[in-house]
Amino acid sequence: MALWFAFNRYQSFAGYVCKSDVLLINRYVLSNAVYQSIRSEADLYDWIMELEHVHLDLPRPDVYVCLDVAPSQASCNVEKKGFRDYVGERKDVYEQDASIQHRCRAKYMEYAAKHGDIEIVSCMDNDVLLAAEAINTRIVNCLARRNLI
């Protein structure tokens, strides 16, 4: 799966990279490293980063901004998505298993502690999902701290 996601990204982003000063991408290379690593006995972070950023020459971001939502809240959010082409009204394979969500969240936290280019932005306060405007403010503050805006 790691290769499929990598090559799909390579094909999808090739034209945009050269034409853009700023790219905002949902579920980029870090997501591939997280989801593949939780499914494997090996930590695939370095292998996936090298594959995508070195061999496929996909741009390395200034920062990965990860929006942290409790898995229980994430599950509630998925229920509100409605029809999606690839699964209809059902949850996808990753959304169906709560343990996957918990392991992914832990892996994102682990990688953020190890690597300086990952920011975790909490989207909850006292177990309540923040309003979109409050989350946006936290993202903007995160980018400002890094002098990216």
What b/e string do you get for 95-109 counting C-beta neighbours within 10 Å, with b at 16 or more?
A: beeeebbebbbebbe
**How many angstroms separate the CA atoms of 33 and 141, rounded?**
26
- For 48-100, how does the pLDDT look when each residue is reduced to its tens digit (9 = 90+)? 999 988 988 888 889 999 999 998 887 666 666 666 566 566 666 666 677 88
Identify the pLDDT of residue 135. Answer: 98
DSSP conformation letters of 11-49: HHHHHHHTT-S----SS-HHHHHHHHHHTSSS--HHHHH
pLDDT tens figures, 7-53: 666 666 666 666 667 767 767 899 999 999 999 999 999 999 999 88
Locate the domains of the chain by residue range: 1-61, 62-149
For residue 61, give the nearest of 138, 125, 136, 143 by alpha carbon. 143
Nearest to 27 by CA among 52, 56, 54: 52
Helix (H, G, I), strand (E, B) or coil at 124: strand
Distance between CA atoms of residues 91 and 44, nearest Å: 25
